[in-house]
């Protein structure tokens, strides 16, 4: 019937039990795969990180390879020697038997009946094999040659012991008969041939066992009795046992030698790796600030000289680092002291300047202009002093973050509204691109507003009258604000230098808005205080872009920014789009 699903269930199969077994086995298989994956990962990690493991493993692999090829060569030589000795002894033994059998066969009475002839042949086989039956050295088989006997009773094969006559392969029989007939026609009846075969011997249970053997055969010919093929079969049991003993001995010796070489490699590499690991641990401690750590020097070899050189380097680094720390401490103390000491005279001068500025209308024009210049320069001096005090707080670790959930878009709007007049005066426009949904993050509004104010003012000042684009975006764990200008831009390598204190790309450039040279340094410290990034990108003549990335939750690490560091309208990206190549965004590094 159409639309009906049918299932064929084998009789005797319990489907519920099968399903339960599959459900029980599935977690076990998953756990096994996970364990194998962990072990494989651990092995790969150990191989990647440990020189000693790689040296020992390589030594073992090469030792195994060398031992394998050496054992193969030795086994081959032993096998060839055993077979050659066996072959010489077998041919000598068979040659004497062939002469005896040929003489006995040719002296047989032609008037002998078939039964008597068959018995005579069987007696001949037993007599020939009697020399090897006790020691199991060889067996004898007698086969009728093709066309040699018209009587079927006389053509039945004969063999001594438990040997099966069909063990003689057809290739050997053809060789013995064909070459034997040729030699007989030439008057030489002493030809024989030999071949390595797999001889079959009857067992008591009715079966048979196969044994490698060497078969040597000749042709017995008589005008009256016809032709017969006589074979001596020499089992290679003793040679096989000897070869197995040699092989087992070589395998055992090779395994022991490989293990011994592995232990030796481990001990040798340990002497080299141990000082290197010690140097790595001490280097990590030095990097962590424990500058008094030193390596232990033992002996006068290369490793001892390495340890001595490492200790000298650590001592020099410790001395230089302490000098730099002392210099930095003195510098920070000097900035802090100067900033605080200048507060009092600045306040007094400010009060006097305010009095002069308020009464400037009653002064002569040049005195009035001087009072205005004094007021402007005092504003700049007070701004510099404020920045120096803020830097000293960061240096002293006294900066405090007062974070609260804030919509970053509101801070951006406040900054834009406060600097619209400045942008208009420079011939620029402030363009804000923001998403319709809120971009909320836990930030200190005062510090973030100071960062954005600094970025916008710098963009307007260096934008050369072009538009300044402020882009806001939010990701899964972060929010970002990018300030893009189309002015002079940055030269290669300046994207990190702009955050240095008092650094300027062009010290001779005229400034319309003043500036202390500390704004971006303070902005970078504010970003780091939030656990965020402040990064810069720029190209000469194509403007620059500064990107501020902040975590939505204060103190959490962020992995990526929702805004690419290189803007989509950069010269390189425009070239990629024009050429038809796929667009690829460039994400910034971690901290600037």
468 within 8 A of 429, measured Cβ to Cβ:
yes
Same domain as 461, residue 557: yes
Residue 87 falls inside a structural domain: no
Number of domains in the chain: 3
Residue 415 falls inside a structural domain: yes
Same domain as 475, residue 355: no
CA 274 to each of CA 60, 264, 281, 294, 307: distance values in angstroms, whole numbers, following the listed order: 20, 15, 11, 15, 12
Same domain as 525, residue 473: yes
Kind and range of the H or E run holding 370: helix 365-396
Same domain as 507, residue 417: yes
Question: Which residue carries 């001395």 as its tokens?
Answer: 319
Residue 190 falls inside a structural domain: yes
CATH no. for residue 428?
3.30.565.10
Residue 18 falls inside a structural domain: no
Determine the pLDDT at residue 410.
93
Same domain as 426, residue 542: yes
Is this structure's pTM higher than 0.75? no
Determine the pLDDT at residue 586.
32
Determine the pLDDT at residue 576.
56
- The CA distance from 514 to 491, in Å, is 22
Q: Which domain holds residue 455?
A: 404-579
Same domain as 457, residue 375: no
Determine the pLDDT at residue 551.
92
For the chain, helix, strand, coil in percent to 5 are: 55, 15, 30
Determine the pLDDT at residue 515.
56
Same domain as 116, residue 195: yes
Last residue of a domain, one of 181, 215, 238: 238
Determine the pLDDT at residue 10.
44
pLDDT digits (tens, 9 = 90+) for 482-514: 999 998 888 887 877 888 777 765 554 444 444
Report CA dihedral (81, 84, 90, 92) to the nearest 10 degrees.
Answer: -120
Residue 544 falls inside a structural domain: yes
167 within 8 A of 202, measured Cβ to Cβ:
no
Residue 475 DSSP code: -
- The CA distance from 178 to 578, in Å, is 87
What are residue 439's phi and psi, to 5 degrees? -115, 80
Last residue of a domain, one of 238, 255, 284: 238
Same domain as 419, residue 388: no
Residue 309 falls inside a structural domain: no
Same domain as 373, residue 356: yes
3-state SS, residue 70 = helix
- The CA distance from 80 to 73, in Å, is 11
Same domain as 142, residue 189: yes
Last residue of a domain, one of 360, 380, 396: 396
Tell me the pairing of strands 440-443 and 468-474.
Answer: unpaired
- The CA distance from 509 to 523, in Å, is 22
Q: Which of 247, 250, 263, 249 is nearest to 60 (CA)?
A: 263
Tell me the pairing of strands 478-485 and 468-474.
Answer: antiparallel
- Tokens for 322? 């302490």
547 within 8 A of 561, measured Cβ to Cβ:
yes
CATH no. for residue 212?
3.30.450
Tell me the pairing of strands 404-407 and 430-433.
Answer: unpaired
129 within 8 A of 233, measured Cβ to Cβ:
no
pLDDT digits (tens, 9 = 90+) for 362-411: 778 888 888 778 877 777 777 777 767 777 776 667 677 888 999 999 99
Residue 359 falls inside a structural domain: yes
Determine the pLDDT at residue 407.
92
134 within 8 A of 241, measured Cβ to Cβ:
no
Q: Which of 484, 486, 506 is nearest to 494 (CA)?
A: 506
Determine the pLDDT at residue 41.
78
Determine the pLDDT at residue 133.
44
Same domain as 554, residue 414: yes
Residue 511 falls inside a structural domain: yes
pLDDT tens string for the chain (592 positions)?
Answer: 333 333 443 444 455 665 666 566 567 677 777 888 888 777 777 777 777 788 888 888 888 888 888 888 988 898 889 888 888 988 888 888 888 888 777 776 655 556 677 777 788 888 787 764 445 588 888 888 776 555 555 567 888 888 888 888 988 888 888 888 887 777 676 788 889 999 888 887 778 888 899 999 888 877 666 788 889 999 888 888 888 898 899 889 888 888 888 888 888 888 777 777 788 888 888 777 777 778 777 777 777 787 888 888 888 888 888 887 777 777 667 666 666 677 777 777 778 777 777 877 777 888 888 877 887 777 777 777 776 777 777 666 767 788 899 999 999 999 999 889 888 998 889 999 999 999 999 998 988 998 999 899 989 988 888 889 999 999 888 999 999 999 888 888 787 788 877 776 555 444 444 456 777 888 888 888 888 989 999 888 888 999 999 998 887 888 888 999 888 888 777 665 544 433 333 333 333 3
Same domain as 389, residue 409: no
Other Cβ atoms closer than 10 A to 311: 17
């Amino acid at each position: 019937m159409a639309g009906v699903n049918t299932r064929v269930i084998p009789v005797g199969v319990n489907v519920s039990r099968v399903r339960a077994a599959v459900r029980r086995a599935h977690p076990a298989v998953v756990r096994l795969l996970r364990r194998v994956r962990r072990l494989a990962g651990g092995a790969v990690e150990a191989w990647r990180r440990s020189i000693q493991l790689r040296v020992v493993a390589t030594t073992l692999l090469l030792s195994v390879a060398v031992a394998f090829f050496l054992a193969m060569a030795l086994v081959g030589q032993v096998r060839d020697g055993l077979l050659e000795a066996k072959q010489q002894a077998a041919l000598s033994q068979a040659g004497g038997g062939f002469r005896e059998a040929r003489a006995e066969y040719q002296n047989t009475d032609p008037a002998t009946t078939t039964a008597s002839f068959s018995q005579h042949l069987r007696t001949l086989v037993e007599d020939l094999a009697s020399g090897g039956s006790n020691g199991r050295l060889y067996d004898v088989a007698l086969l009728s040659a093709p066309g040699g006997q018209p009587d079927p009773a006389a053509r039945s094969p004969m063999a001594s012991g438990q040997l099966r006559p069909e063990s003689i392969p057809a290739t050997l029989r053809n060789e013995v008969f064909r070459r034997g007939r040729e030699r007989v026609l030439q008057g030489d009846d002493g030809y024989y041939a030999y071949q390595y075969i797999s001889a079959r011997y009857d067992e008591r249970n009715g079966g048979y066992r196969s044994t490698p053997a060497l078969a040597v055969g000749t042709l017995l010919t008589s005008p009256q009795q016809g032709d017969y093929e006589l074979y001596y079969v020499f089992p290679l049991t003793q040679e096989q046992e000897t070869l197995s003993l040699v092989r087992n001995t070589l395998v055992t010796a090779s395994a022991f030698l490989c293990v011994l070489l592995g232990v030796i490699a481990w001990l040798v590499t340990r002497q080299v790796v141990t000082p290197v690991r010690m140097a790595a641990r001490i280097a990590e401690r030095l990097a962590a600030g424990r500058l008094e750590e030193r390596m232990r020097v033992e002996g006068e070899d290369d490793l001892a000289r390495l340890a001595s050189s490492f200790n000298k380097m650590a001592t020099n680094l410790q001395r230089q680092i302490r000098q730099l720390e002392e210099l930095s401490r003195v510098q920070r103390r000097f900035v802090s002291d100067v900033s605080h000491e200048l507060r009092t005279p600045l306040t007094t001068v400010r009060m006097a300047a305010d009095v002069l500025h308020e009464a400037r209308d009653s002064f002569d024009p040049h005195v009035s202009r001087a009072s205005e210049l004094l007021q402007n320069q005092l504003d700049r001096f007070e701004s510099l002093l404020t920045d120096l005090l803020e830097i000293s707080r960061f240096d002293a670790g006294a900066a405090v973050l007062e974070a609260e959930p804030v919509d970053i878009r509101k801070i951006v709007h406040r900054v834009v509204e406060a600097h619209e007049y400045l942008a208009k005066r420079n011939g620029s426009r402030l363009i804000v691109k923001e998403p319709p949904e809120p971009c909320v993050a836990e930030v200190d509004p005062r510090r973030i507003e100071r960062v954005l104010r600094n970025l916008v003012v710098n963009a307007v000042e260096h934008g050369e009258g072009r538009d300044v684009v402020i882009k806001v975006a939010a990701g899964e764990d972060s929010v970002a604000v990018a300030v893009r200008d189309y002015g002079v831009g940055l030269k290669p390598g300046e994207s990190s230098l702009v955050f240095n204190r008092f650094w300027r790309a062009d010290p001779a450039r005229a400034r319309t808005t003043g500036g202390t040279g500390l704004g971006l340094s303070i902005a970078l410290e504010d970003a780091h205080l939030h656990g965020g990034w402040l990064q810069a990108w720029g190209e000469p003549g194509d403007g620059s872009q500064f990107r501020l990335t902040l975590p939505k939750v204060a103190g959490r690490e962020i992995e990526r920014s929702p805004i690419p560091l290189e803007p989509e309208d950069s010269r390189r990206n425009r070239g990629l789009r024009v050429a038809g190549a796929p667009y690829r965004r460039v994400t910034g590094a971690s901290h600037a």
